[in-house]
Each structure stands twice: as C-alpha cells, then as structure tokens.
Amino acid sequence: MSKILGTKGKQVLRVMTMIMMIMIICSPLAVLAADEPIIITIYQVFKTSLPNADGTFTYRFKSLESNDPMPDGSTTDGYTFTITGTATARIELPEYGESGLYLYTIHELIEVEKPYYVYDRHVYTIEVHVDLALDVKVVVRDEEQTKVEAIVFENEYRLPATDPDLMTDPPVRKTVFGSPTTSSTFTFKLQAGNPSDPMPQGSINGVKMINITGSGTGGFGVWSYAVAGTYYYTVFEVNTGETGYTYDKAVYTITDRVLQEDGKLVLHRLVTNETNRLVSSMIFNNYYNSAGGTNTPGTTNTPGTTHSPGTSSSPRPTNPPGSSYPPGNTNPGGKPDGPKTGDESDPAYYLTLFSLSGIVAVVAMSYLICGAKGERRS
C-alpha cells in the first residue's frame, strides 16, 4: 500500500512541478533577480519553396539613450546580428547598476531589397524595468504599443508567378445544327476543382460563365499561379432549357501542372475530353428540332454524371502536398496557419492559470495526507 501511495505521490508532485514551470515560462512579466542574466530571444520564420533560397537576414538592436547598457560587440549604430532560416538568436544584456526604465528597439535591417523576397517590417520596443533592488522586469511591445509574448520576424521568398500571357486559353466552339428562326444564347461554365484556386477575372467562388449566341466561339480568359501544384478545372455547357434544342453533354477537363524550373514557376497545361484525349479546343454541338419540344433546365450535362471527366483508365497525376484536388474532391487537411505576432497578453489567462495551479496543489496535498492516514490505519 505504501509503495502505491509513494508512486502516486511522486506522479502528483511531477504534475505540480510541470504546471509551475509552464507558469514561469509563459509569464511575460517574470521578474529576474539582479544576478540573473537578461536574455532577449528573437524568433525568425523563413518561408520558401526553393531549396537554395538565401535565408539569412540581418537585425539591429538599439538603445534609445546613448549611455544605456548594451550587449558586447555593440557599436554606435547598435548591436547587429543575423539569423539564417527558421531559427532563433539570443541577446544577453549586461547588468544594470541603477534603477530606472531602459528602452530599446529591434527591427530587421533591410539595406537592399532582393527580388521575390517579402520582408518583415515589424519594429519592437523592449522595456527593461529595474527596481530599487536592481531586479529586472522585461516587457515587449509592438508598433501599436500592444504587449506581445515574443519577438517574431517572418520573411518569405516567393517564386515569381507564372506569366498569364504564356497561358493557352482553349476556345469554346459552339455549333448549332438545324434551322432555328432566331439565334439563341448558350451558357458555358468554367469550374475550379477547388473554389480557392486561381481563376480568370470575373469569376465568383471558383466559377466563371460565358455566353455564346448561335454558332460561334468564346474564351474564359487567363490567370497566373503563385504556388506550385496541380490544379483541375472542368468546362461544360449549362442546360438553360431553350425550346427545341438538344444540348451537348460533353465535359472537358483542364489540368494545370505548375512546376519549379530553374527558380521559376512554369505552367504545363493539358486539356482533355471525356475520353481523356488531348484537345486544342472545346467543341459543343447543339441540335435544333423545328418540331418543338422543351429541354428541362439542369437535367442534362452535369459534371460527374454523363461524360464526367476522369472516366478513362489513364490515371491523373498525383497531387503534391498543398495542391488542388480533382473536381468532386475536397482537401481533407487545410493549410496550416503561420505564426501570429502582435497578440496582446490577456491578464485573465494568467489569473486562470494561477488559480488552476492552486487547485491542483490543494488536491495533491489532500491526496497525499489522506494516503498517509490510510497507510497508518493499514
């Protein structure tokens, strides 16, 4: 019995110790004793899809008063250092011999902007509060003087987007057979496999419609890609129920593979029909019957039913991570959010944290006392 109580007691004490460590680490207002080193940690996040992109960036830490303590290696311009890739840097401040408020700033030093780079332009203010006992409290604020948990800089290298002028816009060719007395207007839809995929101007939620009156041609337009991947689109005619017409049920698939080639994004486009054969234009034939009759809108020519894309035995290329999915599929994951900066600390969070730690301590002590009493009775 005593062994069991001893084991459980150790587990409870471990939990209490972990909670106290989390409270100390999370608290941005932790007070450092006069003999403790003052460490400022800077976090850098570098985003790129190019393996050999230069991810080294320069930062400057500077005091607002010329005589304030500064790290070793500082000059009249301040303390300059670099961080490479997604990593951290640490600045150690010297001891303070007098009480008071010491103010510093830190920002990314951008002397020459390189093409395709996106730089973080945050400017953080570091407040070092030194009390009469020379104990130190450090507070970090952003440009809006909002208190933040950490100093974070996010930089990114973005490959240049594909050139829309180099994109092939396969024409929609409409032919009407029969002898209608008047020309009717026919509607065609371009639909993205994922509504958030790039689309031509005038699109709404991954859909663009065009109209062709009688026999003729039309196009949906061109667009560009900023992220490598595979993207799917379908093109089909919308059955609007014009009297006397039999609508074409063909469905065409546009497959855009965007690859990184020599530091650029290059588009490779394939346009296929319902039998998975390559085509250079999307042909739709409608037949007019002078005897009349009415087509019910929406009953024919729907992707995924008759002549739906992808019915041949030839598989589509596998999507790389982060790419779009074929029409009818959805992304099971979703893009992760990048690190957030500038969030203001919530005092209620710390009050709740301290309250919970107190409750855990009381429960643990009660558990240990009761266990001890039970051991004596046994």
Structural tokens at position 199: 């689309």
Determine the Cα–Cα distance for residues 317 and 303; give it in Å rounded to an integer. Answer: 20
Query: Could you tell me if 171 and 218 are in contact, meaning their C-beta atoms sit under 8 angstroms apart?
Result: yes
pLDDT in tens, the chain (378 residues): 444 444 454 454 455 545 444 443 444 444 665 557 899 999 999 998 787 889 999 999 999 998 899 999 999 999 999 999 999 999 999 889 999 999 999 999 999 999 889 999 999 999 999 999 999 999 999 999 999 999 999 999 988 899 999 999 999 999 999 999 999 999 999 999 999 999 999 999 999 999 999 999 999 999 999 989 999 999 999 999 999 999 999 999 999 999 988 878 999 999 999 999 999 999 999 999 977 655 544 444 545 433 333 333 333 444 443 444 444 444 433 333 433 333 444 555 445 555 565 665 555 555 555 554 454 444
- Both 245 and 258 in a single domain? yes
Determine the Cα–Cα distance for residues 219 and 254; give it in Å rounded to an integer. Answer: 13
DSSP code of residue 281: S
Domain annotation covers residue 369: yes
Backbone angles phi, psi at 51, to 5 degrees: -60, -35
- Both 190 and 250 in a single domain? yes
- Both 152 and 174 in a single domain? no
Q: In Å, what is the CA distance from 375 to each residue of 9, 363, 364, 371? A: 13, 18, 16, 6
DSSP code of residue 165: G
- Both 143 and 191 in a single domain? no
**What CATH code is carried by the domain that includes residue 38?**
2.60.40.3050
Residue 21's domain comprises 1-27+345-378
- Both 284 and 358 in a single domain? no
- Both 77 and 175 in a single domain? no
Domain annotation covers residue 319: no
Domain annotation covers residue 235: yes
Determine the Cα–Cα distance for residues 177 and 248; give it in Å rounded to an integer. Answer: 11
- Both 177 and 280 in a single domain? yes
- Both 143 and 34 in a single domain? yes
Domain annotation covers residue 229: yes
Query: Could you tell me if 259 and 204 are in contact, meaning their C-beta atoms sit under 8 angstroms apart?
Result: no
Determine the 3-state secondary structure of 251 from DSSP.
strand
- Both 34 and 154 in a single domain? yes
Of 278, 226, 238, 236, the closest CA to residue 255 belongs to 278
Domain annotation covers residue 332: no
Domain annotation covers residue 314: no
- Both 115 and 69 in a single domain? yes
Structural tokens at position 228: 């490598």
Number of domains into which the chain is organized? 3
The pairing of beta strand 216-218 with beta strand 229-238: unpaired
- Both 175 and 280 in a single domain? yes
